[in-house]
Structure 1
Amino acid sequence: MTTGNPAEHPEPAVTTPLLSAQGLRVTFPGRRGEAAVRAVDGVELDIRAGEIVALVGESGCGKTTLARTLLGLVKPTEGQVRFSGRPLEYTSRALKAYRRRVQLVLQDPSGSLNPRHTVYDAVAEGLRIHGYGGDERAAVASALSRAGLRPAERFFLRYPHELSGGQRQRVVIAGALVLEPELVVADEPVASLDASVRGEILALLLRLRADLGLSALVVTHDLGLAWNIADRVAVMYLGRIVETGDVEQVLTSPRHPYTQALLSVLPEAPGAPVVLTGEPPDPSRIPAGCRFHTRCQILSSGEADTTNVASRCRTEDPEILTASPVPQVACHWARTTVPR
């Protein structure tokens, strides 16, 4: 929701997103007669060519399920994934072609690299799966060089245990780059790395965007990472995006109480951290009204009562945010107050 003079918030030129989620829902059957789990519960999200979008939220909020659905690894219960304007098809042939254009970078390089495979074989695996007909050695060397492992040939015969954590993550990135994808989905790409190495990997992702025009969805619980790498940020809570927009605007002037709470625990944040009460509700028992209201610091403090929205918070589910790049918030209280 925007405020002020519309001329101050011009609409961006309309272009077809590279990847989009439209009305996406993923529901898993409950066990032994229990209610179904609504892991992704109505998501609209666009990623444009050359753009880095950060998807942030606590563990268990649905980030990884959404990422796996965008990759075609999970078929949505409702809605659709579109790539370059076309709906994703779930035949083996279509998915194989799609995964050449959209690649996954996993969180733990140690777990995603076969300890029995050399670096060369690890990077060449994708080429072999997709029946690459060119010069395999040259393609592997190029991918390793782009990932910052130079000279590439020096790493060909090494095994994962002979590499540092940062080097292993670069091998994983090279394995994604070797197929020359248009977009990568990076699930917590630096979570398992030392602080001294994280900056190097983030700088690498930014350089790949600049040099190759690569787009990325970066899944993370770390808002500091989002600040350093993303163009836009989408904040997810209990299966739904609750705030989205330009990274600077969302992270410097957060409007949703959940985003404010996440930011308050960063070391550089002013004031005392916001301590949320309890754990996120069970996704098979999403509460009525705003799904965040059972933990909301604004509601519990009584501040929402002053704007006469407390009853709406408990009974009315805020509307699902659209895929528009204009900053939006799914919060009754935020929509009745002046942005802080």
Structure 2
Amino acid sequence: MSADTDSRQPSSAPGSEGVGQPILSAEAVEVAFTAGFAPGGGRGTARAVDGVNLDVAAGEIVALVGESGCGKTTLARALLGLERPTGGRVVFEGSPLGYRSRDLRSYRRRVQLVQQDPTGSLNPRRTVYESVVEGLRVHEGTTADESERVAGALSRAGLRPPERFFARYPHELSGGQRQRVVIAGALILDPEVLVADEPVASLDASVRGEILRLLLELRAELGLSALVATHDLGLAWNIADRVAVMYLGRVVELGTVEEVLSAPAHPYTRALLSVLPDSEASEGPVVLSGEPPDPKQVPRGCRFHPRCPVLASGEAERAGVADLCTSADPAVLGGGAQRRVACHWSAADGSGRLRADGPAAP
């Protein structure tokens, strides 16, 4: 598996021995946008997130992977309380998330966002100190130990000595340093969960590994949990305990990183993995035809079937599930730690059987 660095330690990962009590959960979460607000425009209702169950346990890192437009960012925003679900609910430490200002204010101290583009998320007119302290002042006002807490957050984010960075502006920093400032701004409130949306996508390859290692160190030192949305399966392999593969608003495969990335069961996951430089796929790279369907017009049956190479090659027909693929929607996957896949072919006997322990449906 290609990666900038392989600093993950599977033997100590929570996901390797099953997930404990979830700290953050999506329970049948749906997010729909009506005409005029739907991504891409046009008429109708876009089901950006279409029934997702996903748990993040204390001290666990979950990677949410898939192509652009699959719903990763919308789900992340829903988990942050930035997007209110049109169905289902977000649960934090066993209690449903409330959407009153007071509830969200309290929640956002404990669940923090790490954005994709540090250059865009940092105000160019603010110093590093002003950017990092902003969240603290919003939630607590000016405190006597403000400078000490800013220094501590910068230090934990790997910017040492921290005082050296206080008066600097974003344009005076490297891309990796700017991302560390963004992370420090999240850490200053001592959150329990980080939600990171493509945290290294805008960085040079030479510094991606440093940021990934930092996230792992924060998990080890502070017990942080994290949901990392990414299209990069190499990143998922190096940082995650579990992987959720998302396609057109649904999680279609879920399991530990070793289960999903070493023995993918869903044709979509197989296709994503096959194009990695060191892929061991026997059939070579699988190029998916077309683009993901419009979320305002989700295909009947399995939502992946119009692009599915297994259906197109006749393998699904030989396994006796071709009609199901085009007419029956696979069950929405449950959450938890159990290995799951939403695919008629993978659940069938013969060449399409699920190549891992655990059921194909909830």
Please give the range of the TM-score, normalised by the shorter of the 2 chains: over 0.9
The answer to whether the Cα contact below 8 Å between 1:232 and 1:245 also exists between their aligned partners in 2 is: yes
The answer to whether the Cα contact below 8 Å between 1:253 and 1:339 also exists between their aligned partners in 2 is: no
In 2, the alpha carbon distance for the partners of 1:125 and 1:265 equals 42
1:50 partnered with 2:54: no
Unpaired runs of 5+ residues, structure 2, are 1-15, 356-362
1:163 corresponds to which letter in structure 2?
A: L
Q: Which residue of 2 aligns with 1:304?
A: 316
Task: Describe the SS at the equivalent of 2:307.
Answer: coil
C-alpha distance after superposition, 1:182-239 (max 9, x if no partner): 0000000000001010000000000000000000000000000000000000000000
Q: Which residue of 2 aligns with 1:257?
A: 267
For residue 338 of structure 1, report the CA deviation from its aligned partner. 3.3
Find the partner of 2:215 among 196, 205, 227: 205
TM-score for both structures, normalised by structure 1: 0.95
Find the partner of 1:146 among 149, 156, 172: 156
1:66 partnered with 2:75: yes
Percent same amino acid at aligned positions? 68
For residue 303 of structure 1, report the CA deviation from its aligned partner. 0.5
For residue 307 of structure 1, report the CA deviation from its aligned partner. 1.0
For residue 30 of structure 1, report the CA deviation from its aligned partner. 1.6
The answer to whether the Cα contact below 8 Å between 2:301 and 2:330 also exists between their aligned partners in 1 is: yes
In 2, the alpha carbon distance for the partners of 1:26 and 1:181 equals 25
C-alpha distance after superposition, 1:264-289 (max 9, x if no partner): 01011034210101000000000000
Q: Which residue of 2 aligns with 1:247?
A: 257
1:82 partnered with 2:91: yes
Q: Which residue of 2 aligns with 1:28?
A: 33
| Alignment of structure 1 residues 107-118 onto 2, 5 Å | 107-118=116-127
In 1, the alpha carbon distance for the partners of 2:233 and 2:332 equals 22
Q: Which residue of 1 aligns with 2:344?
A: 332
C-alpha distance after superposition, 1:46-102 (max 9, x if no partner): 000000000000000000000000000000001000000000000011101100000
Task: Describe the SS at the equivalent of 2:244.
Answer: strand
- Count of aligned residue pairs for this structure pair: 330
Question: Which 4+ stretches in 1 moved above 2 angstroms?
Answer: 11-16, 337-340
Find the partner of 1:195 among 196, 201, 205: 205
Residues 264-273 or 78-87, more deviating: 264-273
The answer to whether the Cα contact below 8 Å between 2:20 and 2:58 also exists between their aligned partners in 1 is: no
Find the partner of 2:295 among 283, 290, 295: 283
For residue 326 of structure 1, report the CA deviation from its aligned partner. 1.1
1:182 partnered with 2:187: no
Find the partner of 1:225 among 235, 238, 243: 235
2:285 corresponds to which letter in structure 1?
A: P
Over the aligned positions, Cα root-mean-square deviation in angstroms equals 1.4
C-alpha distance after superposition, 1:99-122 (max 9, x if no partner): 000000000000000000000000
For residue 35 of structure 1, report the CA deviation from its aligned partner. 1.4
